[in-house]
Amino acid sequence: MSWPGFSFPFGAWFFLTLIPLVVLYFLKLKRPRVEISSLALWQSVVNDQRVNSPFQKFRRNLLLLLQLILLMLVILALMQPFISAGPETVEYLPVLIDCSASMSSKVNDADETRLDLAVEQVKGMIDNLRGNGKIALFTFSSGGRRLTEFSDDSQLLLRALQKVEPTDRASKLDEVLRMAEAYSRTASVEKVVVITDGNLNDQVDFELPFKLDIQRVPTGGNNLGITEMTARRSGPESWDVFVRVSGSATETAYADLRLLKNGETIGKEAIEASVEDSERVVFSVESKEAALLQATLTAKDFDSLQIDNSVWLNLPNTRPLKVYAAEKLYSWQHALSVQTETELDTAAEPSLPEYDLIITDVEDLKGSTAPIVVYNGLVPKELQDLISVAAVTENDTPVQIMDWLQTAPLLRHVQLRDVQIAEKAKYINDADSQALEERGYEVLIHGAEGPLMLQRRRGLQTEYYFLFHTDRSTLPYRVAFPILVSNVTEFALQQASLSEVAATATGVLPAISVAPNREYQVKGPLAGTYNVTSTPSGILVGVQAETVGKYDIFDGEELVASVGTGLLSSLETSLRPVDEIQFSEVRVATDEVKVIDSDRHIWWSLAFLAFIFLLFEWWYFQRAKGGLAA
């Protein structure tokens, strides 16, 4: 048996008020004097009553006794007694509240969400705050956010708790744990409580410096949702749109999937999905112009999570890849000419302001731009103090390719081992790859004495530098060359979104090419707009898109672009809690049994009991006053 504790033990001083109560009672107790003819009969009556009622003395002062009990109950209630849920008491307690998309799933038909249960759970912890205990509230989804500092001000904590809302993001625990770890340096934190539905990754790359108590709220009903939406170009003016629908229940759930193009329904499919068997649906969409597709899922039964039922996808214009290859790069021109859906420009100078791919051996592009530019036989000006390139002489050691980054998009499946090169690039001035990286260049092909190929990203543009001229090597004659050219065109197609596009998950919108240094207005699915300024290179980046829906970007009154987002998280859609999470060193169980882990206050029970005693005392007093005279 555990004795109850008291949140306000100093209230025990109020027990001293029992003394004046007793004193006042006996001072106040002045019986009315009644002169009677003789006490003879009454004395025998009283004697008889005492014999028959052994508790007469007790009854004589019953009113005093009731008042003492009443006062003691009130004082006990004032001391705020509680029955402790456990022996542990921590002084500083960070509480991490899961606000990921799955927390907005309904647990019952009363529209109560998991987050509502989590908030109630945290409210209970705040109500149970006692002694020197302080709580700091954090929320997390894909990132973490601190709501309050360590505080024992329950009103402050409750106000912060009222602002907690579910997000349309997938959950990720490590970032908020790092935030809590950083914050725990300001106080002695022994334990961190995570209030979650358990819909987390079962592996977290984080070394726990404190004890983690993961408390799971009850899970809700079944859910169906779209977890994937991509489009692959299937012809000059046609796309195959792939939509994957997943379920959370072991039983098969049924739904209707509709595909809308610019708001008009162009396809509809009946869906059957379960947790073990997701369904992938393919829609064939004819579209020459850019279009906004929306996939909408309508469940036929209870669907606990609504935000994963709609996903948007932007289809680009269907056009050939615009490639400029410099006039004298015959090997490149020859290899590019066999690529389908490619429009090759081999003029002396670039004629269009924008290409999808530029392959050149001169540094001046004459004002043209492209997402991918491949420089051939050029050393960037800013690296000329670090790298020198010279023709290989007879006395020189041959150029050897030591290593290359095979995961780079351009070098995938490219074998460079036996390529002979007639130009040698060398590090000068004691430079090394570290010095290049400091200037924003990454070495893709390492030679024995210096780099042979570099990569640099400038905003949305990626530049590749072959430091040797490919025509002065055996590369064009190797099998690797057409693979290299194919990789370049495939990468260019992807960058231009001409071959495959995928729906955007919530978080941040993909970069959008617009006019440079201009302010645009973004109107999302929620009410209100906010302004975003494009970069000097003409890109809108970092546009927050926390909510699932369509985002319209305006330049004044003119609609510049429409981009949609979706939840697109199989983890969130599955609503499947993990039983254990593997951290770097330990495994932590997420146990639903531990859900009710809060102290139980009993002051109101005592107050109610005191009220009952008050009523009883009133009744007794009135009865004693009225007697049997009536």
Partner 1 sequence: MTSETSSQLTSLFSNSTLNRIERMRLNPLRRLTNRSRGEHLSGKGGSSTDFADYRDYAAGDDMRYVDWNIFARLRRPYIKQYLHEEELHVVILVDASSSMLFEDKLQRAKQLAAAFGIMGLMNVERVSAYAMHQKKDEPWMLPPGSGRQRIRNLLQFLEGVNGGGDVPIEKAIETMLRFHRGRGIAILLSDFLTFSDLSRSMNLLFSAGLEVWGMQILSESERNPSLEGDLRFVDSETGETLDITNAGELLSLYQDHRRWQEQTLNQQCRGRSGRFASVSSALTLESTLFDVLCRQGWVLR
Q: Footprint of partner 1 on this chain (CB under 8 A)?
A: 29, 31-46, 48-49, 56, 59-60, 624-629
Closest contact distance (angstroms) between CB of 20 and partner 1 is 21
Following CA atoms 63, 66, 67, 73 in sequence, which dihedral angle do they give, to the nearest 10 degrees? 180
Q: Which residue lies nearer to partner 1 by CB, 54 or 87? A: 54
Element (H, E) at 182: helix 173-184
Would you call 454 helix, strand, or coil by DSSP? strand
Lookup result for tokens 């859900």: 595
Q: Which residue lies nearer to partner 1 by CB, 56 or 533? A: 56
Closest contact distance (angstroms) between CB of 37 and partner 1 is 4
Closest contact distance (angstroms) between CB of 30 and partner 1 is 9
Please tell me the distance from the alpha carbon of residue 333 to that of residue 374, in angstroms, as a whole number: 13
> Residue 467: what residue type?
L
As a whole number of Å, the end-to-end CA separation of the chain is 50
Please tell me the distance from the alpha carbon of residue 600 to that of residue 609, in angstroms, as a whole number: 17
Order of strands across the sheet that contains 5-6 = 5-6, 81-83, 600-601
**How, if at all, do strands 321-325 and 291-299 pair?**
unpaired
Q: Which residue lies nearer to partner 1 by CB, 52 or 429? A: 52
Q: Which residue lies nearer to partner 1 by CB, 50 or 458? A: 50
Kindly state the DSSP code that residue 628 receives in the 8-state scheme.
T
Would you call 215 helix, strand, or coil by DSSP? strand
Q: Which residue lies nearer to partner 1 by CB, 44 or 584? A: 44
Q: Which residue lies nearer to partner 1 by CB, 1 or 628? A: 628
Kindly report the backbone phi and psi dihedral angles of residue 16, in degrees, each rounded to the nearest multiple of 5, phi listed first.
Answer: -65, -20
Closest contact distance (angstroms) between CB of 31 and partner 1 is 4
Closest contact distance (angstroms) between CB of 123 and partner 1 is 49
Closest contact distance (angstroms) between CB of 619 and partner 1 is 13
Asked if 500 and 230 count as a contact pair (C-beta separation under 8 A), the reply is yes
Q: In which region does residue 362 sit, left (phi positive, over 0), alpha (psi from -120 to 50) or beta (all else)?
A: beta
Closest contact distance (angstroms) between CB of 594 and partner 1 is 55
Q: Which residue lies nearer to partner 1 by CB, 515 or 624? A: 624
Q: Which residue lies nearer to partner 1 by CB, 393 or 622? A: 622
Residue 433 CB neighbours (<10 A): 15
Q: Which residue lies nearer to partner 1 by CB, 528 or 627? A: 627
Q: Which residue lies nearer to partner 1 by CB, 53 or 188? A: 53
Please tell me the distance from the alpha carbon of residue 215 to that of residue 597, in angstroms, as a whole number: 8
Please tell me the distance from the alpha carbon of residue 490 to that of residue 340, in angstroms, as a whole number: 11
Closest contact distance (angstroms) between CB of 69 and partner 1 is 19
Closest contact distance (angstroms) between CB of 19 and partner 1 is 23
Minimal CA–CA distance to 470: which of 329, 627, 295, 594? 329
Minimal CA–CA distance to 574: which of 226, 243, 312? 226
Q: Which residue lies nearer to partner 1 by CB, 50 or 587? A: 50
Task: Copy the structure tokens of residue 97.
Answer: 């509240």
Closest contact distance (angstroms) between CB of 63 and partner 1 is 9
Closest contact distance (angstroms) between CB of 623 and partner 1 is 8
Please tell me the distance from the alpha carbon of residue 77 to that of residue 496, in angstroms, as a whole number: 71
Q: Which residue lies nearer to partner 1 by CB, 528 or 626? A: 626
Asked if 179 and 138 count as a contact pair (C-beta separation under 8 A), the reply is yes
Would you call 526 helix, strand, or coil by DSSP? coil
Closest contact distance (angstroms) between CB of 62 and partner 1 is 9
Task: Copy the structure tokens of residue 574.
Answer: 């599955």
Closest contact distance (angstroms) between CB of 24 and partner 1 is 16
Asked if 158 and 62 count as a contact pair (C-beta separation under 8 A), the reply is no
Closest contact distance (angstroms) between CB of 56 and partner 1 is 8
Kindly state the DSSP code that residue 595 receives in the 8-state scheme.
G
Q: Which residue lies nearer to partner 1 by CB, 16 or 34? A: 34
**How, if at all, do strands 264-273 and 253-261 pair?**
antiparallel
Please tell me the distance from the alpha carbon of residue 457 to that of residue 464, in angstroms, as a whole number: 9
Closest contact distance (angstroms) between CB of 61 and partner 1 is 9
Q: Which residue lies nearer to partner 1 by CB, 44 or 162? A: 44
Please tell me the distance from the alpha carbon of residue 209 to that of residue 191, in angstroms, as a whole number: 9
Q: Which residue lies nearer to partner 1 by CB, 16 or 629? A: 629
Strand partners, 243: 229, 281
C-alpha distances in Å from residue 519, one per residue of 535, 549, 551, 553: 10, 22, 16, 10
Please tell me the distance from the alpha carbon of residue 141 to that of residue 99, in angstroms, as a whole number: 5
Kindly report the backbone phi and psi dihedral angles of residue 464, in degrees, each rounded to the nearest multiple of 5, phi listed first.
Answer: -115, 135
